[in-house]
Structure 1
Amino acid sequence: MQAFLKGATQTSRPQKDKSAAGPSSEKRAKAVPWVEKYRPKCVDDVAFQEEVVAVLKKSLEGADLPNLLFYGPPGTGKTSTILAATRELYGPELYRQRVLELNASDERGIQVIREKVKNFAQLTVSGTRPDGKPCPPFKIIILDEADSMTAPAQAALRRTMEKESRTTRFCLICNYISRIIEPLTSRCSKFRFKPLADQIQEERLLEICAKENLKYTKESISTLVQLSEGDLRKAITFLQSAARLSPDKEITDQVIIEIAGVVPSKMIDSLLQICLKGTFEKLEVAVGNMVDEGYAATQILTQLHDAILKQDIGDKQKSAIAEKMAVVGKCLADGADEYLQILSLCSVIMQQASQS
């Protein structure tokens, strides 16, 4: 009897452990970045891009869809828009069969265009969705970050676009339309995605704060909007980082500034005051401290540019400083020493300020 009880207790233990581990493992699986969690699920959820939303809505109602070219700054909803549209068009079941998405991380040389894209484009489609809704008689190929495709690959694509127009639609997505060859741009309906307006960004961020039960200040949200410069993806990422950094505390603008790696405005102002009224010895110390604290020279350069524009010095002096900033920016991109470059720029600001 004792042996039987002993065996029973031994067999019941693993079952208890398994059920206890179940919910936590489920929670771990569900943890996704907020950028993905709050990605628009349908075309109506896309913010601020009225023209492209109107065109996609017509195609969802049964009208034909042209080849599309989405271009604009990062984080403005280009990929999210076409993914939401294709999911609405085909439903979750047919989506995998009807949509081919290739990103810059995939191999997209001329061989891939000739084989993978061409083979997918040649497949004919038929049938209806399992839920009975009408399904468009074409497939969609999404080429994300198309501006990083090689010129021969782009040239190979133009014939495929023409030849398979009966069964396939293409959607090219890029940041710089100038890097797409002319024959491709002329075959597509072009839509420019604008940087999101401050008010739209603010609404979205407040919506996420409400859903995630975050404590925040008005200043923190306005700082987020200001630092993201129309890039909603960047704003949401910063917000999630701030929420993880101070889970039970209120999110302040100071926390956002620290996460974004922005130089505090007080430091920029004091550096500028030394440039305008101080000595070269003080300037050396101030620039050295900034670089030693780990602030990126490109970030200092950007913020100095904005601060100089607000200063009350002559236009001739401002243009000379701006020209030097362009040179410093190029040198930093080429890997020059950050301390020497910022010191060189500040000495030009000091020289120009003394002339005005």
Structure 2
Amino acid sequence: MSKIIPALQSRCTRFRFGPLSSEQIMPRLEYVVEQEGVTITEDGKRALLTLANGDMRKVLNVLQSTWLAYKNVTEDNVYTCVGHPLRKDIENIFKWLLNSDFKSTYNNIKELKMIKGLALHDILTEIHDYAHRAEFPFDVLIDLSEKISDIELRLCAGADENIQLTALIAAFQQVKKIVPPE
């Protein structure tokens, strides 16, 4: 919805800009970091680029928020500042999903979500990406991706996170029957 009246909108052209590449964002990010005297690590820069998905405004907003909150821009600080799961947290969740029993996996993920303030939707996104990097058979990966997308759809429709968490664990219980544990 726009606050511009329809008569005026009809006489205007909308411009839609595609996302920027990392090569386009990085020089400007380094310029801002240098001009503002921000302490940033290389993994902090990578985290900013990953979270921004080509949006320069988001890079600068997250950079500013992280700097104001922590005075040091690292990968962990960036992810913590925006409430996104850390890489090591996703690795732990993935290990629990593949190697632990249902109850302990549920309790571990539930506790991690509460301690870190994570949303199941963010965890699902990262688990999906992580599953694609794992060496699952193609048919298992397709089935798992379908189940994750169904869970995400139900979350978007307002379903209970705890029930959807059990659905995620159940999906990986099926994977464990096909793929031997690590």
Counterpart pick for 2:112 among 290, 306, 317: 290
Residues 155-194 of structure 1 mapped to structure 2, 5 A cutoff: 157=10, 161=11, 170-173=12-15, 193-194=17-18
Unaligned runs of 5+ in 1: 1-103, 118-142, 144-156, 162-169, 175-192
Which amino acid letter does the alignment assign opposite residue 281 of structure 1? K
- Deviation of residue 317 (structure 1)? 0.8
Counterpart pick for 1:268 among 72, 90, 98: 90
Matched, 1:242 2:75: no
Contact 2:102 2:169 in 1 (8 A): no
- Which residue in 2 is equivalent to 1:305? 128
- Counterparts of 2:23 and 2:30 in 1: how far apart (Å)? 11
Which amino acid letter does the alignment assign opposite residue 113 of structure 1? P
RMSD: 1.8
- Deviation of residue 194 (structure 1)? 2.7
Match of 1:320, SS state, is: helix
Residues 46-195 of structure 1 mapped to structure 2, 5 A cutoff: 104-106=1-3, 112-114=5-7, 117=8, 143=9, 157=10, 161=11, 170-173=12-15, 193-195=17-19
**Number of matched pairs:** 178
Structure-2-length-normalised TM-score:
0.89
Larger Rg: 1
Match of 1:266, SS state, is: helix
Contact 2:106 2:169 in 1 (8 A): no
Residues 11-32 of structure 1 deviation map (CA, whole Å, 9 limit, x = unaligned): xxxxxxxxxxxxxxxxxxxxxx
- Counterparts of 2:19 and 2:162 in 1: how far apart (Å)? 33
- Counterparts of 2:176 and 2:55 in 1: how far apart (Å)? 35
Sequence identity (%): 23
Find runs of 4+ consecutive structure 1 residues off by over 3 angstroms.
Answer: none
- Counterparts of 1:196 and 1:273 in 2: how far apart (Å)? 34
Contact 2:25 2:56 in 1 (8 A): yes
Match of 2:14, SS state, is: strand
- Which residue in 2 is equivalent to 1:228? 52
Which amino acid letter does the alignment assign opposite residue 337 of structure 1? D
Match of 1:324, SS state, is: helix
- Which residue in 1 is equivalent to 2:149? 326
- Which residue in 1 is equivalent to 2:28? 204
- Counterparts of 2:22 and 2:78 in 1: how far apart (Å)? 17
Match of 1:199, SS state, is: helix
User: RCO (CA 8 Å, sep 6+): is it higher in 1 or 2?
Assistant: 2
Unaligned runs of 5+ in 2: none
Matched, 1:347 2:170: yes
Larger fraction in helix: 2
Structure-1-length-normalised TM-score:
0.47
- Counterparts of 1:273 and 1:220 in 2: how far apart (Å)? 25
Which amino acid letter does the alignment assign opposite residue 170 of structure 2? S
- Counterparts of 1:352 and 1:303 in 2: how far apart (Å)? 17
